[in-house]
C-alpha cells in the first residue's frame, strides 16, 4: 500500500506465476499451447486456463475482471465458490463447468453493465492480441461514475481521527 502522499495507490504485484509473454531475443509472442496443466487460483482463473491453454495477457485480464466482480458483488461470493470435491483435479473440473455455464448477466446481476463488458471483452481477445487498456480503463472509470464512487482517497485501511 502506498503511504503518506501515495496513500491512494494500491500496488498489486505477484510475480509467483509470471513469465515473459514475448521471447526476450526475438520479441515475438510466446507460442500457443493447449496442453498446459492448470496453474493459478481456481476462483479467479480464466476459462482458457481451466481448459489447459497457455496463459497470456487476456487471461490476466479475465482474472482481474473476476476479481473486480467478486469485490463488487454484495454477497462477496462467486457461483463456483465453496465447491467440495475429493481431489484438486475434480474441484478444478467442477469449477470450470460452473464457470462455463454461468451466464455473464447472472454473474454480474445488479452490477453496472460495464462489468459484463469488461469480462466479455477479455474473453474475446486473441491469444497474442494486445489488449486495449484505454478502453478497459474507460469502462472502470464509468463504473466509478455509475456506482457513485468518489476518489476521495479515504480507504478502509486509513484510520480517521475523530474531529
Predicted confidence (pLDDT) at residue 112 exceeds the cutoff of 90: yes
In a domain, 152, yes or no: no
Residue numbers of the domain that contains 66: 21-147
Mean pLDDT to the nearest integer, 106-121: 97
Q: Band the pLDDT of 7: cuts 50, 70, 90.
A: confident
In a domain, 139, yes or no: yes
Answer positive or negative: Cα dihedral of 103, 109, 113, 119. Answer: negative
Q: Band the pLDDT of 19: cuts 50, 70, 90.
A: confident
Mean pLDDT to the nearest integer, 35-51: 94
- Which tops the pLDDT comparison, 10 or 101? 101
Going by C-alpha positions, the residue among 17, 58, 59, 51 that lies closest to residue 34 is: 51
pLDDT of res. 160 = 65
Say if CB 96 and CB 50 are below 8 A apart.
Answer: yes
pLDDT of res. 42 = 94
Supply the angle between the helices 57-72 and 133-146 in degrees, to the nearest 10: 0
Q: How many domains does the chain have?
A: 1
Mean pLDDT to the nearest integer, 106-115: 97
CB-count exposure of residue 148 (10 Å: 0-12, 13-18, 19+):
exposed
In a domain, 124, yes or no: yes
pLDDT of res. 61 = 95
Beta-carbon contacts of 118 under 8 Å, excluding residues fewer than 6 positions away, are 61, 65, 68, 136, 139, 140
The end-to-end CA distance of the chain, in Å, is: 25
In a domain, 64, yes or no: yes
In a domain, 118, yes or no: yes
Amino acid at each position: 500500500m502506498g503511504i503518506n502522499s501515495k496513500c491512494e495507490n494500491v500496488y498489486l504485484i505477484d510475480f509467483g506465476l509470471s513469465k515473459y509473454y514475448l521471447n526476450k531475443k526475438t520479441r515475438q509472442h510466446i507460442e500457443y499451447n493447449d496442453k498446459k496443466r492448470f496453474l493459478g487460483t481456481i476462483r479467479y482463473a480464466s476459462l482458457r486456463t481451466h481448459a489447459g491453454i497457455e496463459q497470456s495477457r487476456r487471461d490476466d485480464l479475465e482474472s482481474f475482471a473476476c476479481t473486480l466482480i467478486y469485490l463488487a458483488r454484495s454477497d462477496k461470493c462467486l457461483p463456483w465458490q465453496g465447491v467440495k470435491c475429493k481431489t484438486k483435479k475434480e474441484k478444478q473440473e467442477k469449477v470450470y463447468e460452473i464457470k462455463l455455464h454461468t451466464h455473464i448477466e447472472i454473474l454480474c446481476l445488479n452490477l453496472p453493465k460495464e462489468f459484463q463488458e469488461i469480462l466479455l471483452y477479455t474473453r474475446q481477445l486473441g491469444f497474442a492480441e494486445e489488449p486495449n487498456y484505454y478502453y478497459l480503463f474507460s469502462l472502470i472509470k464509468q463504473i466509478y461514475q455509475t456506482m457513485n464512487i468518489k476518489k476521495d482517497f479515504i480507504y478502509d485501511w486509513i484510520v480517521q481521527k475523530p474531529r
